[in-house]
Amino acid sequence: MKNTIHKIILLNFFLLLIGLTSCESYLDEVPKGKKIPETLADFEAMLRYEYGNHRVDITQALNLLNDKWQSSANLNYYPLYKANYFWDESINRITLNNADETAYYASYGAINSFNLIIENALTSQNATEDAKRVVWAHAKVLRAMTYFNLVNYYADTYDASTAATKLSVPLITSANVNAPYTQISIQAMYDFILKDMEEALPFLPKTGATILHPGLGAAYAFYARVYLQMNNYTQALAFADKALAENNKLYDWTAYYATNKTQIENATSYVRTASPMDFNYIENYNFRHGSSNSSSGESTIPYERGAQFETGDARFKSRWKVRTVGADTYYYGTISGYFNLGGMTTVEVYLIKAECQARKGEINEAMNTLNTVRKTRILAASYADLTATTTAQAMAHIMKTKRNELILSIVPFCDIRRWNHEGIYTVTLSKIVDGNTLTLAPTSHMWTMPFPQGAIDNPGNGTFVQNVTK
């Protein structure tokens, strides 16, 4: 699988078409002497460009959540990291965000590739009409996924009462150099995402040519994520069930722990074990990298974050181990390989289903769904079914499990924004630093990220404005 994905033959015209070298480069002049894609194979190869088109960078969201440990050196060198990591609401993050931020530029670079496929695949050469439609549909789904990440990073969370009047992000639908665009409303962006999905769905295969090619299961799972973010629990549940009908497998982390127990329990050894969360992970619907696409090892998490995991969580124990280096103590990542932190997985869909059931008042069903996940995670010596008698109790269990299960992905950030805006199941972050208690309130402006200053200063063929004041 890995060899197949890495056989990218079109790097030259990726450099031509995407342009990630500067803040306005995706709208710059096209370099001379580069190959232009013509055949369907050319366009299909773009879907396999995992490091460029399948990277979901959310570094500042991870900093804000304190889900990724940052060293003092990093915090001192990157002022924006420090502002988010310590929840400093007095800092103007707009002025700090004056470099090429990968979250923005990598996303729009990928969108440019997907636009190119969508515009040209149906008229490409050397392929059947059915084959052309499949590639076109894959690109539609991936574009929708990428815009979902952008709107939930740089704009306020969805609220049906205000979504039509609040701005989201620039909508670019053409790969043409200097293509015009508009910064559309949040409602218009969600409508666009759903339209892309609706148009793609009839042409998607059950499974794609590789795990980078989203099939029906990935589409249904993503639909469930979108509708959950829109607080449409009926639709989210319906699509969650459709996704689980395509794939309902859960990886047995208790078995992984048992297999690697000697190494995991060796408190003085930090030799890494192999990641099961790679291209072949049985929970995958589709694969996309997270903030890092390196195979060296998993991100380190803060020591305080480790206390939020459930006792006996084999998934946590298998992935992180307490380590002290000098004055720093943290949970060191003890797995190496690749990690599906940007794609859709069955565990997310189970937890979407559990929340929707709880919202409908189906408390027992929600807990059964949640415990189905937990049985593959919690070691037998610590396991007991979680129970609830109210929606609030069920939600507390689901929220904790989901935030831990989807750590280092964009999902916890989206979820907390959604819960905070609803005002019922709010999340206040808190920690003690040098004897001082720091908090991040549910209503803080910091839950929306500022656009990079370079993008504002070099907008290309359109205009857009910041969605935050600082």
- The CATH number that applies at residue 69 is 1.25.40
Coil/strand/helix, residue 150: helix
Q: Are residues 192 and 271 in the same domain?
A: no
pLDDT at 99: 64
Q: Are residues 137 and 278 in the same domain?
A: no
Q: Are residues 248 and 387 in the same domain?
A: yes
Residue 466 lies in a domain: no
State the Cα–Cα distance between residues 90 and 68, nearest whole angstrom.
22
Degrees, nearest 5: CA angle 333-334-336: 95
Q: Are residues 14 and 109 in the same domain?
A: yes
Structure tokens that stand for 453 in this block: 């200053």
Residue 445 lies in a domain: no
Residue 463 lies in a domain: no
Q: Are residues 119 and 18 in the same domain?
A: yes
pLDDT at 9: 30
pLDDT at 87: 98
Residue 423 lies in a domain: no
Q: Are residues 228 and 354 in the same domain?
A: yes
Residue 68 lies in a domain: yes
Name the amino acid, one letter, at 298: E
Q: Are residues 179 and 234 in the same domain?
A: no
Residues of the chain with pLDDT under 50: 1-33
Residue 55 lies in a domain: yes
Predicted TM-score of the model (pTM): 0.92
State the Cα–Cα distance between residues 137 and 436, nearest whole angstrom.
52
Residue 419 lies in a domain: no
| Dihedral class, residue 243 (left if φ above 0, else alpha if ψ from -120 to 50, else beta) | alpha
Count up the domains in the chain and report the number. Answer: 2
Q: Residue 55 belongs to what domain range?
A: 2-214
CB 464 within 8 A of CB 171: no
Q: Are residues 274 and 154 in the same domain?
A: no
Structure tokens that stand for 255 in this block: 């078995």
* Neighbouring residues of 58: CB distance < 8 A, sequence distance ≥ 6: 103, 149, 153, 290, 291, 409, 410, 413
Q: Are residues 245 and 192 in the same domain?
A: no
pLDDT at 454: 86
* Neighbouring residues of 407: CB distance < 8 A, sequence distance ≥ 6: 67, 301
Q: Are residues 124 and 236 in the same domain?
A: no
Indicate the residue among 408, 431, 454 that finishes a domain. Answer: 408
- How many residues would you count in the chain? 470
Residue 54 lies in a domain: yes
Q: Are residues 34 and 110 in the same domain?
A: yes
Indicate the residue among 355, 384, 408 that finishes a domain. Answer: 408
Nearest to 236 by CA among 347, 357, 142, 412: 357
Q: Are residues 245 and 135 in the same domain?
A: no
Indicate the residue among 166, 192, 214 that finishes a domain. Answer: 214
